[in-house]
Amino acid sequence: MTIPRLRGAALATVALMATGSAVVPGPAAAAPGAPGTPRYTAGAPTVGDPYFPDQGNGGYDVQHYDLVFSYDPATRFMDATATITAVATQDLDQFNLDFRGPEVSSVTVNGHAHAFTRDGQELIVTPRPKLKAGQRFTVVVRYAGVPGPVTDPDGSIEGWVPTDDGAFVVGEPQGTPAWLPTNDHPTDKATFRFTATVPEGLTAVGNGQLLSQQTRDGWTTFVWDNTEPMATYLATITIGKFEVTQTVTPGGIPSYVAIDPRLVAGSADAVSQIPKMLEFFTGKFGPYPFASTGAIIDYAPNVGYALETQTKPIFSSRASVGTMAHELAHQWYGDSVSPERWSDIWLNEGFATYAQWMYTEYNGGASVQQTFNSSSNYGRAASSSFWQIVLADPGPEDMFSNIPYNRGAMTLHALRGKVGDDAFFRILRQWAAIHRHSDAGTADFIALAERESGQNLGAFFDVWLYQKGKPTTW
């Protein structure tokens, strides 16, 4: 679902027709995707994000992922059928999916079986008949075997991470193709449905709402439906022994919280504050962007971080109050409004970190000004290596270092001082509203901040986002 891009293309076509142009494009001049004689070419093998050059693909736009699978933690064996519904954005004789998962036994496009090849994380499909621009098509990929983790440039792991009672499933920034063939870039959002069959006694927890849960012959099948657009990196279907609590928040949002029994006591404070956090953030950022909420608190000590998986943040050990606030704030900033490029990661982490500072203040802890001044933030010496990374382009090794988090949050606090509270919170709310369920980049944010404040903020953002060094005047 590349909503903005499609809308742009549609408008361009209308404008062209409205001018009644005398130039009638002949077949030879027709670009791929133009109306008229089809000209079939291969979809690009990437979206061209320099942090992860293999990520994403061109030539189509995914609408929906439907994954039906079984998983047995005893053997770590997965048996899966993924059905992907997409729309061709050019005349296609070949396209790629990103997939690092186990052995593929078949690929069909619109019901026709096809030869396919694999090359690194690319699953290359040559549909016959070929696909015309605008055509909706369905790809079915069958695969089985033992999925595993993906290692990131900073050495951390993600993807499909086996645990002592199941699997911890996270995908930021590039882990989802470990278990699902996708167009793996945040700019192609889609809806998702997971039908997971696991041994009786275990729970499979996915994004969105639980449609059904049925046990037969020692296996339980869970059907999870995520009906709002979601970036692939925010998908999860985590499996384990969980204590489940289903409630409805005072704001009327259904909540599903699954906690590893070993972590219930240590996470109780954070879990009990979910409704209060959602209410506080709704007051500051605007309506909660999804139809459900909750959390997954699992024991995966080798992962060591939490993730803002859509509708249900996931934790790899006990959930703290601060991290819970951070991951819930991401539902607005990161999940509903996702980055256009991974270099924009401060738009995720800086915002969620600043929200965490705000919640701490609201909860009677340090004020945001005190946190800004502290020794882990502006109080760092100018000579610290912390200041030597450019916030708007930290690089793949540093995208989850403290730069996007702390310098990002400091940038927002400095902006708040510069434009005043009224304009600042208007900017935050507009950001969530304008780009709801979509993507946006740093240039969009700067333009919005200038529009809402009426100020020229070029020098301000240059110092905070594009220059190295500790800002001194802004």
Among Zn ion, ligand TRP, none, partner that 306 touches (CB below 5 to 8 angstroms by kind): ligand TRP
Neighbours of 95 (CB within 10 A): 26
What's the closest the beta carbon of residue 200 comes to Zn ion, in angstroms? Answer: 35
Question: In this chain, which stretch among 176-184, 286-294, 300-308, 439-447 interacts with ligand TRP, using CB under 6 A?
Answer: 300-308
Q: List the beta bridge partners of residue 182.
A: 98
70: left (phi > 0), else alpha (psi -120 to 50), else beta?
beta
CA dihedral 195, 201, 206, 212 (to 10 degrees): 50
| 260 vs 349 by CB, closer to Zn ion | 349
Cβ atoms of 201 and 74 within 8 Å: the answer is no
Which amino acid is it at 212? S
| 77 vs 305 by CB, closer to ligand TRP | 305
Positions 291 through 310 that interact with Zn ion (CB under 5 A): none
Which amino acid is it at 37? T
Question: Would you count residue 307 as binding ligand TRP (CB under 6 A)?
Answer: yes
What does the alpha-carbon distance between residue 408 and residue 405 come to, in Å, rounded to a whole number? Answer: 5
What's the closest the beta carbon of residue 36 comes to Zn ion, in angstroms? Answer: 47
Cβ atoms of 334 and 429 within 8 Å: the answer is no
Question: Would you count residue 160 as binding ligand TRP (CB under 6 A)?
Answer: no
What's the closest the beta carbon of residue 361 comes to ligand TRP, in angstroms? Answer: 20
Question: Would you count residue 70 as binding ligand TRP (CB under 6 A)?
Answer: no
What does the alpha-carbon distance between residue 169 and residue 176 come to, in Å, rounded to a whole number? Answer: 8
Q: What angle do CA 309, 449, 431 make, to 5 degrees?
A: 30
Q: Which two structure tokens, joined as six digits, stand for 402?
A: 């403290």
- For residue 155, the surrounding DSSP H or E stretch is none
Question: Would you count residue 308 as binding ligand TRP (CB under 6 A)?
Answer: yes
- For residue 212, the surrounding DSSP H or E stretch is strand 209-216
Question: Would you count residue 156 as binding ligand TRP (CB under 6 A)?
Answer: yes
Backbone angles phi, psi at 253, to 5 degrees: -100, 125
Question: Would you count residue 349 as binding ligand TRP (CB under 6 A)?
Answer: yes
Given candidates 54, 91, 327, 439, which one binds ligand TRP under the rule CB under 6 A?
A: 327
Question: In this chain, which stretch among 92-100, 202-210, 306-314, 384-392 interacts with ligand TRP, using CB under 6 A?
Answer: 306-314
313 closest CA partner among 355, 360, 257, 262: 257
Contact mark string toward Zn ion, 315..354, x via CB under 5 A: ----------------------------------x--x--
| 275 vs 322 by CB, closer to ligand TRP | 322
Which pairing describes strands 149-151 and 112-114: parallel, antiparallel, or unpaired?
unpaired
What's the closest the beta carbon of residue 174 comes to ligand TRP, in angstroms? Answer: 9
Question: In this chain, which stretch among 148-156, 212-220, 262-270, 366-374 interacts with ligand TRP, using CB under 6 A?
Answer: 148-156
Q: Which two structure tokens, joined as six digits, stand for 265?
A: 């006591």
Positions 161 through 190 that interact with ligand TRP (CB under 6 A): 172
- What single string gives the DSSP state of each residue in 89-129? SS-EEEEEEE--SSEEEEEEETTEEE-EEEETTEEEE--SS
Cβ atoms of 396 and 342 within 8 Å: the answer is yes
Question: Would you count residue 239 as binding Zn ion (CB under 5 A)?
Answer: no
| 222 vs 400 by CB, closer to ligand TRP | 400
Among ligand TRP, Zn ion, none, partner that 400 touches (CB below 5 to 8 angstroms by kind): ligand TRP
Question: In this chain, which stretch among 152-160, 181-189, 367-375, 456-464 interacts with ligand TRP, using CB under 6 A?
Answer: 152-160
Among ligand TRP, Zn ion, none, partner that 41 touches (CB below 5 to 8 angstroms by kind): none
Neighbours of 201 (CB within 10 A): 10
What's the closest the beta carbon of residue 101 comes to ligand TRP, in angstroms? Answer: 19
- Which residues lie near ligand TRP (CB under 6 A)? 152, 154, 156, 172, 305-308, 326-327, 349, 400
- Which residues lie near Zn ion (CB under 5 A)? 349, 352
